[in-house]
């Protein structure tokens, strides 16, 4: 067998192995994107009904409306979009916001009309905020209503609409975010 024949056979074997590898990767991507591989909802964030950790520190007065906790990172592009969406809704009656950063918040956060808290690594752990951006909604009684990753502005908007539309009525008109910063 000549050198050229050996090289040609080895090339075809390498191409076949590469094709099988790519085929397996495409199958995995398809399974993930179609939802065939899902994490159980109870394994992400705190379970609904769980008492919210450190709620007295996050909302010193007992909340009169649901409290939306946004767990963000300063160098996350999607987090910046989610923060902009939250800022757009800061005067929305029936909701109050707290933005939490694991370390120091970005400098522009000081100018926002929403309460921004930096150095909250402990709360990232306690709320099981596994990825950013992550949202946890706490009800008036201090219990978790929802906890989920938020992948876009639209996802946050959808979450706010679902939380802000209680069955059989509208949200209280007089409650708004006070916009304090810590």
Task: Summarize pLDDT for 13-29 with one digit per residue, the tens.
Answer: 999 999 999 998 888 88
User: Across the strands, what pairs with 99?
Assistant: 70, 116
CA 176 vs CA 7, 89, 139: distances in Å: 73, 10, 15
Question: Is 141 inside any structural domain?
Answer: yes
pLDDT > 50? residue 93: yes
Span 74-91, average pLDDT: 89
Looking at the structure, do residues 46 and 132 belong to the same domain, yes or no? yes
Using alpha carbons only, what angle is made at residue 138 by residues 87 and 128, rounded to the nearest 5 degrees? 95
Instruction: Please tell me the predicted confidence (pLDDT) of residue 181.
Output: 42
Nearest alpha-carbon partner for 170 in 65, 79, 86: 65
Looking at the structure, do residues 88 and 30 belong to the same domain, yes or no? no
CB neighbour list of residue 98: distance below 8 Å, 6 or more residues apart: 58, 59, 67, 68, 69, 70, 114, 115, 117
Q: Comparing 38-52, 57-71, 92-106, which segment has the lowest mean pLDDT?
A: 38-52
Looking at the structure, do residues 51 and 33 belong to the same domain, yes or no? no
Span 87-107, average pLDDT: 89
pLDDT > 90? residue 151: no
Write the pLDDT tens digit of every residue in 61-76. 777 888 999 999 999 8
Cα 44 from Cα 163, distance rounded (Å): 18
Looking at the structure, do residues 7 and 53 belong to the same domain, yes or no? no
Total domains in the fold of the chain: 2
Instruction: Please tell me the predicted confidence (pLDDT) of residue 161.
Output: 87
pLDDT > 70? residue 44: yes
Instruction: Please tell me the predicted confidence (pLDDT) of residue 11.
Output: 96
Give the domain extent around 31: 1-38
Which single residue is written with the structure tokens 């709360």? 123
Instruction: Please tell me the predicted confidence (pLDDT) of residue 108.
Output: 87
Contact 46, 127 (CB under 8 A): yes
Which single residue is written with the structure tokens 């397996």? 24
Looking at the structure, do residues 132 and 64 belong to the same domain, yes or no? yes
pLDDT > 50? residue 104: yes
- If one compares 82 and 31, the residue with the highest pLDDT of the two is 82
Q: Which helix H or strand E contains 24, and what residues bound it?
A: helix 3-34
């Amino acid at each position: 067998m000549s050198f050229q024949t050996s090289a040609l056979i080895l090339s075809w074997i390498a191409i076949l192995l590469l094709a099988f590898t790519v085929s397996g990767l495409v199958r995995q991507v398809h399974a993930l994107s179609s939802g065939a591989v899902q994490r159980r909802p109870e394994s992400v964030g705190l379970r609904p009904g769980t008492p919210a950790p450190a709620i007295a520190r996050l909302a010193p007065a007992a909340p009169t409306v649901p409290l939306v906790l946004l767990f963000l990172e300063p160098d996350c592009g999607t987090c910046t979009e989610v923060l902009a969406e939250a800022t757009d809704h800061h005067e929305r009656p029936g909701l109050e916001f707290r933005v939490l950063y694991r370390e120091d918040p970005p400098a522009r956060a000081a100018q926002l009309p929403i309460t921004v808290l930096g150095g909250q690594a402990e709360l990232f752990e306690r709320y099981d905020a596994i990825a950013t951006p992550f949202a946890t909604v706490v009800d008036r009684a201090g219990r978790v209503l929802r906890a989920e990753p938020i992948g876009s502005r639209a996802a946050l908007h959808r979450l706010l609409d679902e939380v802000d539309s209680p069955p059989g009525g509208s949200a209280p008109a007089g409650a708004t975010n006070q916009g304090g910063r810590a």
